[in-house]
Amino acid sequence: MRLLHTMLRVGDLDRSIKFYTEVLGMKLLRQKDYPQGEFTLAFLGYGNEEENTVLELTYNWGVDKYELGTAYGHIAIEVPDVYAAAEAIKQAGGKIIREAGPMNAGTTIIAFAEDPDGYQIEFIGADHVRS
């Protein structure tokens, strides 16, 4: 077994694809309209779906906003340098909501960004300890 993808509902598919590709550097892997269901799916990631977990963006036609709820936390992306990643995100027009620095009650360097729909994305240094 393996984790295939994480799905997020988005209010503006083009805006979200632009954010994940131009700000976070993902590639649009595939996109398909489902006219009978009135939705579009777009799959993005840092590598192909056969070997990597990817992000599925779901746009339900005519829905431009969602309530995120209190159960959702964040997605996490490993980066070589959290400080550099946060700066690059800001330079590309992304919104950093927690500047790079040590996490609370620990030493792991993290930062958080927010996508156009308000979903939080955590950036963790590649040298963090996995336990």
Give the residue numbers marked as catalytic.
Answer: 122
Which candidate, 43, 29, 35, places its Cα nearest to that of 60? 35
Pair 52, 45: CB distance under 8 Å: yes
What is d(CA 75, CA 120) in angstroms, rounded to the nearest whole number?
A: 7
Q: How many CB atoms lie within 10 A of CB 4?
A: 12
CA 22 to chain centre: 12
CA 112 to chain centre: 11
Kindly give the residue spans of alpha helices, DSSP state H, lying in the chain.
13-18, 82-91
